[in-house]
């Protein structure tokens, strides 16, 4: 994370782009589903269907397991959180790092080179999981602000976005959240930021639009143009 004293002075063109991680930057569904199945098996429980598991990606673990419990009083949420963490760590050490989606790294590199763009991350991952992804793909130091499940309430609470804006000194009308789940869209709108949905992740496109997505893109290479399409009119109106 960049020290605040080294951040550029905000001007009329600077914008903040906050990326979700799982399902947006990296395809982690194989490890998530496998860890969820292992965790349930370890506790003698039947794992939910794959689509139910992917539907809670993006939430922090306690909230994710609360959703999966479907209100059952006998479902051990806190036990499952630890069982999942243990299973995921075992898989993490045995499996290759989560792969990035096509053109993701190239697009991030291009955005990073833009003088009027600050990149950040808002993710339900723990900070150590983020560090592993960044190291695996040689992206340490690429993100000015990183907000994780360790630092803020779970999505769709706007805390991660609000903290990122506070750290960088940029307002909501210059901030775009890029994500693949309804939780990302709801979080962005609750913070007053723009919501840019991607179609290659884990939630259906119709659900993303219903959750408030301002735009939907189908290719990572289209992300920069979509960011400009969202922010430019707001900058002109503010100016």
Q: Kindly provide the residue ranges of all beta strands, DSSP E only, lying in 116-208, ordered along the sequence.
A: 117-122, 145-147, 175-179, 194-198
CA distance 233 to 204: 28
Mean pLDDT, the chain, integer: 92
CB 157 within 8 A of CB 165: no
Same domain, 173 and 225: yes
CA dist 23 → 8, 35, 54, 115 (Å): 30, 16, 9, 27
Mean pLDDT along residues 47-63? 94
Residue 40 sits in a domain whose CATH number is: 1.10.150
My answer on whether 224 and 162 are in the same domain is yes
Average pLDDT over residues 208-212: 98
Q: How many domains does the chain have?
A: 2
Q: Give the pLDDT score at 12.
A: 72
Tens digit of each residue's pLDDT (9 = 90 or more) over 62-79: 999 999 998 888 899 999
Would you state the structure tokens that stand for residue 53, as one six-digit string? 């598991």
Q: Are residues 23 and 38 in the same domain?
A: no
* Closest to 155 measured CA to CA, from 193, 118, 119: 193
Q: What is the pLDDT of residue 238?
A: 66
pLDDT greater than 70 at residue 61: yes
What's the confidence (pLDDT) of residue 67? 95
Q: Which of 32, 101, 103 is nearest to 61 (CA)?
A: 32
pLDDT of residue 5: 41
Based on the residue annotation, tell me whether 207 is a catalytic residue of this protein: no
86 and 111 fall within a common domain: no
Question: Cα angle vertex 55, ends 66, 224, to 5°?
Answer: 125
Residues 49 and 20 in one domain: no
- Name the more confident of 72 and 2: 72
> 11, 22, 52, 222: which is the annotated catalytic residue?
22
Mean pLDDT of 141-169: 96
Say whether both 135 and 164 belong to one domain: yes
The pLDDT assigned to 233 comes to: 84
> Residue 239 has what pLDDT?
59
Spot the catalytic one: 11, 20, 151, 214. 20
Catalytic (active site) residue 27 = no
The three-state secondary structure class of 170 is coil
Dihedral pair phi/psi, residue 46, rounded to 5°: -90, 130
Residue 1's pLDDT is 44
Q: Does 149 have pLDDT greater than 80?
A: yes
Task: Flag whether pLDDT at 6 surpasses 50.
Answer: no
| Of 132, 158, 127, nearest in space to 145 by CA | 127
Q: Which of 94, 116, 134 is the last residue of a domain?
A: 94
Residues 206 and 224 in one domain: yes
The radius of gyration of the chain's CA atoms, rounded to the nearest angstrom, is 18
Cβ neighbors of 95 (< 8 A, separation 6 or more) are 30, 31
pLDDT single digits (tens) 97-139: 899 999 999 999 999 999 999 999 999 999 999 999 999 999 9
Report the pLDDT value the prediction gives residue 93, as an integer from 0 to 100: 85
Could you say which of 55, 74, 94 is where a domain stops? Answer: 94
Are residues 34 and 20 located together in one domain of the fold?
Answer: no
Provide the residue range defining the domain that includes 178: 4-27+99-238
Residues 22 and 34 in one domain: no
181 and 103 both lie in a single domain: yes
CATH code for the domain of 17: 3.40.50.1000
- CA distances from residue 81 to 58, 73, 77, 130 in whole angstroms, order as listed: 14, 16, 6, 18
Question: Do 113 and 36 sit in the same domain of this protein?
Answer: no
Q: What is the mean pLDDT of residues 199-210?
A: 97
């Amino acid at each position: 994370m960049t020290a605040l004293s080294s951040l550029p002075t905000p001007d009329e063109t600077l914008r903040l782009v906050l990326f979700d991680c799982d399902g947006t930057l990296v395809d982690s569904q194989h490890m998530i589903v496998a860890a969820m199945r292992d965790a349930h098996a370890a506790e003698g429980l039947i794992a939910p269907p794959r689509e139910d598991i992917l539907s809670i990606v993006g939430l922090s673990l306690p909230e994710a397991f609360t959703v999966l419990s479907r209100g059952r009083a006998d479902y051990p949420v806190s036990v499952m959180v630890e069982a999942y963490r243990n299973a995921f760590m075992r898989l993490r050490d045995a499996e290759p790092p989560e792969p990035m989606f096509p053109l993701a790294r190239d697009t991030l590199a291009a955005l990073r080179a833009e003088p009027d763009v600050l990149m950040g991350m808002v993710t339900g991952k723990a900070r150590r999981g983020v560090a592993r992804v960044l190291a695996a793909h040689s992206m340490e130091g690429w993100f000015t602000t990183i907000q994780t499940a360790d630092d803020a309430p779970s999505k769709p609470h706007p805390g991660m976005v609000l903290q990122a804006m506070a750290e960088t000194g940029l307002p909501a009308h210059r901030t775009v959240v890029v994500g693949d789940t309804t939780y990302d869209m709801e979080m962005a709108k609750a913070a007053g930021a723009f919501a840019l949905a991607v179609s290659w992740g884990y939630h259906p496109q119709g659900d993303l639009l219903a959750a408030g997505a301002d735009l939907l893109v189908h290719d990572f290479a289209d992300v920069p143009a979509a960011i400009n399409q969202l922010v430019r009119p707001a900058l002109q109106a503010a100016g």
